[in-house]
Chains A and B, each alone.
Chain A
Amino acid sequence: MNKKNAAKETLLKEIAKCRSCRFCVDVCPTYQASEGVESMSAYGRLQLIKYLLTGILEFDDSLTYCLYSCLQCRRCEVVCKSKGQDIDICKIIQMGRSLLSQNLVQGNSNEKI
């Protein structure tokens, strides 16, 4: 398994831990700033990464904007931990960005990650 595929597998395993409780949604500053767009929240971004990795979605302007607008402030993780889960949400978004960045820099912006 190459490095890219190993990263994808790790990401999907981590995302699968999410119980979809959505407690992280309300505390996300970009969710608040977007006045309630769930794709602009921590939970929304995890779902986007999952669907990008499984090939259901391809990245476009909106998805790129959602992933790169995360402030990495970790407010979502504080809530996640307090609700009994301990998902490293910002690390997942960071790894998602990493996969996306490689494609964007190489000019393969229409490929799936």
Chain B
Amino acid sequence: MKRSKTLIAQALSTLKENMERTGDPLGFRHTYWTEWANGLGLPKGGKTVLLTARMYQMLPYVIQTTDMVASIKPLLAIKGFGKVLSMGNRLAGETVIRLKAIGAKKIKARGTKALKGIISALNSVGEYPAYLYEAEPYSGVLLYDLGLEDGIALHINKVYELLKDHGVEEVIAVDPHTTFMMKEIYPKYIKNYDIRVKHYLEVLSEGKENLGNTSHKDLPKEFVMHDSCVMTRDLGIVECPICLINLMKYEAELGVRVWDMGEILHAALVNPSSK
């Protein structure tokens, strides 16, 4: 609780600045978010697109960033350090975070499997979404969650324009937060908002009888389902299984292997022997 005010003020300022400068919450100029799609041959444009919103891909970097912030927390109480840190982050943050995140190969691989599993499952029910690769925008959900209202309107308009420029009519989101943001919050800021938004599990549940042949041999025998607050209470989606991405960070602490739904789909549909 000590120094919370300074720490939160610094985090908010950095986030806002990163978003304004690069459109990315971590301030990455270059994109590391498209590697998962290598070899899948996803079309670069179409009326229906899969929006990863970088959530799975960001996980290794977010873990490194939070570790770094925790390690320098005592320094934040020093007057003026926040400014120095902000400048340092602008100059070297991306390189440092990227280098440190290289070690998080396992969690990166799991994110990739999860996304591939989602694509495979969507294909099984006859849905072949496009992917915008480097052009894919970030939804801005962190700005909204943290109450940075000033920055949100501008960001939402930019994202909407980008999607319209790419001829997008329907978005399939992979996480509940992006789904909530684009389904419930975007229409409040954009007059005549006309992009249809669905979570991928909604799409799967509509065509579940077509899911095709699945392999059960590599699936976990027991698993715990996470009751996602956003899915059930913000979106009112209660009948689909849900996303476990947030719990993956706490596996060691909880002493359990948390399976994301995308990973389960990957094990069942893409490559049954890979874990």
Residues of A within 8 A of B (CB): 59-62, 64-65, 68, 71-75, 77-78, 94-102, 104-105, 107, 109
* A101 to B145 CA separation, bound complex (whole angstroms): 11
A contacts with B: majority SS: helix
* A61 to B73 CA separation, bound complex (whole angstroms): 13
A78 contacts B149, CB within 8 Å? Answer: no
Q: Which residues of A contact B6 (CB under 8 A)?
A: 61, 109
**Which B131-153 residues have C-beta < 8 A from chain A?**
145-150
Residue of A61, A74, A94 touching B3 (CB-CB under 8 A): A61
Contact (A102, B233) CB under 8 Å given A59-B5, A61-B4, A64-B8: no
26 contacts between A and B (CB under 8 A): A59-B5, A61-B2, A61-B4, A61-B5, A62-B1, A62-B4, A64-B4, A64-B5, A65-B8, A72-B229, A74-B234, A95-B147, A97-B147, A98-B147, A98-B148, A98-B149, A102-B149, A102-B150, A104-B12, A105-B9, A105-B12, A105-B13, A105-B150, A109-B5, A109-B6, A109-B9
Contact (A94, B147) CB under 8 Å given A73-B229, A74-B234: yes
Residues of B within 8 A of A (CB): 1-6, 8-9, 12-13, 16, 145-150, 229, 233-234
B4 contacts A65, CB within 8 Å? Answer: yes
Q: Report the nearest A residue to B13, measured CB to CB.
A: A105
* A61 to B1 CA separation, bound complex (whole angstroms): 6
B contacts with A: majority SS: helix
* A69 to B29 CA separation, bound complex (whole angstroms): 30
Q: Which residues of A contact B9 (CB under 8 A)?
A: 104-105, 107, 109
Q: Which residues of A contact B3 (CB under 8 A)?
A: 61
Q: Which of A61, A71, A101, A109 has the most CB of B within 10 A?
A: A101
Q: Which residues of B contact A62 (CB under 8 A)?
A: 1, 4
